[in-house]
Amino acid sequence: MDTVIYKATEENIKKCAEIIKNGGLVAFPTETVYGLGANALISKSVKDIYAAKGRPSDNPLIVHIADKHTVFEIAKTVPPLALKFMEAFMPGPVTAVLPKKSIVPDVVTGGLDTVAIRMPQNEIARTLISLSGVPVCAPSANTSGKPSPTCANHVYFDLNGKIPAILDGGDCTVGVESTVIDFTAGAPRLLRAGGMPVETIEKVIGPVTVVRNSKVALCPGMKYKHYSPDADVFMAVPGKDIKQRMADAFDKAESDGKKAVIIAMSELKDSFGNRKVWDAGKDCESYAHNLFAFLRKADDEKYSVVICQGVEEKGMGASVYNRLIKAAGGKTI
């Protein structure tokens, strides 16, 4: 199958909406990362998503909607706190997990009786969903295990030949996936840190249970290998000797004959002499925006060791930390 990249013109968005409605797959931009969309009501199309990504079938998909009212067509009940959450943060980089109605096929939810729902902020995404006239289920549009795609070329690299269409809407503004909150088990619970800091959410809906260092995966997808480039990634734990630890790790890699690169925030980037450094930006928002693209660039440019500056787990730092520690497979320095 030839994969066509369509510029996101009005006409092309319509064309892609037709593809989705008729059971085909379309990768599309959202403000977080690119998604790989299908008509959530056609089980065969949903199965095609799992096949294209090489994704384990027990890992449920998020259902994307263009209009808040659609939540009531998909969710059996919407508790008051979930309503408040939706009012404040949808559209936006968040996902709510709610009890599901039977209209949502089991293939979408991996057999769970709950469904994850997200209304993206990105206009192209919302127009596509709206024109397709159906709920659109979509995981991130990467090969399973690889960093999520933040531009159309990343999607093309992973899925060329496996899907009919990519809608190119440029770079994703946020760069990490949505924050997932579960409303089905008593107090709201954070399942995945993401594009909306949990502290901001708590200001509106009150305390959200955050489980750190959980040994069991909170959402099914979190138990799998994630965000992993081919290169070996190390995360430097924040602390006063962090520059030295990063420089030492770099030198050790190079003396072992490996091509290494450092990813550091702007304040540290000039601390490494002649060593190769990529600037992640001045704050954790920028770091989040740049991280996946850097991990992919490391593979493109054949780096075999990537040494990343770690960050504190607060605000957007929590999502950056989560992606770093997973990309590193837990390896810290």
Dig out the tokens for 102 from the structure: 């039977």
Q: What does 115-150 look like in DSSP terms, one character per residue? A: EEEE--S-HHHHHHHHHHTS-EEE-BSS-TTSPPPS
CB closer to Mg ion out of 132 and 140: 140
Burial class (CB in 10 A: 0-12, 13-18, 19+), 4: middle
By a kind-dependent CB cut-off of 5 to 8 A, residue 121 interacts, out of ligand TXA, Mg ion, none, with: none
CB closer to ligand TXA out of 219 and 268: 219
CB closer to Mg ion out of 149 and 262: 149
Dig out the tokens for 28 from the structure: 């599309």
Dig out the tokens for 73 from the structure: 């067509």
By a kind-dependent CB cut-off of 5 to 8 A, residue 116 interacts, out of Mg ion, ligand TXA, none, with: ligand TXA
By a kind-dependent CB cut-off of 5 to 8 A, residue 149 interacts, out of Mg ion, ligand TXA, none, with: none
Please check whether residue 286 is in contact with residue 264, taking contact to mean a CB–CB distance below 8 angstroms.
no
The residues facing 7 across adjacent strands are 168
SS3 call for 176: coil
Looking at 26, 27, 138, 262, which residue binds ligand TXA (CB under 6 A)? 138
* C-alpha to C-alpha distance for 53 and 47, rounded to whole angstroms: 10
Q: Is 175 an interacting residue with respect to ligand TXA (CB under 6 A)?
A: no
Residue 123: CB minimum distance to ligand TXA, A: 15
Residue 65: CB minimum distance to ligand TXA, A: 11
* C-alpha to C-alpha distance for 242 and 185, rounded to whole angstroms: 39
Looking at 12, 70, 109, 132, which residue binds ligand TXA (CB under 6 A)? 109
Q: Is 49 an interacting residue with respect to ligand TXA (CB under 6 A)?
A: no
Instruction: Mark residues 203-222: x for contact with ligand TXA by CB under 6 A, - for none.
Output: ----------------xxxx
Q: Is 140 an interacting residue with respect to Mg ion (CB under 5 A)?
A: yes
Q: Which residue from 14, 108, 127, 141 is spatially nearest to 66, judged by alpha carbons?
A: 127
Residue 326: CB minimum distance to ligand TXA, A: 11
Looking at 45, 127, 132, 178, which residue binds ligand TXA (CB under 6 A)? 178
Looking at 46, 112, 165, 306, which residue binds ligand TXA (CB under 6 A)? 112
SS3 call for 78: coil
Q: Identify which range of 82-90, 177-185, 230-238, 294-302 contacts ligand TXA by CB under 6 A.
A: 177-185
Please check whether residue 183 is in contact with residue 98, taking contact to mean a CB–CB distance below 8 angstroms.
yes
Residue number with the smallest Cβ distance to ligand TXA: 221
Burial class (CB in 10 A: 0-12, 13-18, 19+), 69: exposed
Residue 241: CB minimum distance to ligand TXA, A: 34
Size of the site for Mg ion (CB under 5 A): 1
Residue 231: CB minimum distance to Mg ion, A: 19
Q: Which residue from 68, 65, 322, 94 is spatially nearest to 198, judged by alpha carbons?
A: 94
Q: What do you get for the CA distance between the two ends of the chain, in Å?
A: 44
Please check whether residue 34 is in contact with residue 49, taking contact to mean a CB–CB distance below 8 angstroms.
no
Q: Identify which range of 2-10, 31-39, 126-134, 198-206 contacts ligand TXA by CB under 6 A.
A: 31-39
* C-alpha to C-alpha distance for 173 and 183, rounded to whole angstroms: 27
Residue 105: CB minimum distance to ligand TXA, A: 13
Query: Which residues sit at the interface with ligand TXA, rule CB under 6 A?
Result: 30, 32-33, 35, 59-62, 95, 97, 109, 112, 114-116, 118, 138-140, 177-178, 180, 191-192, 219-222
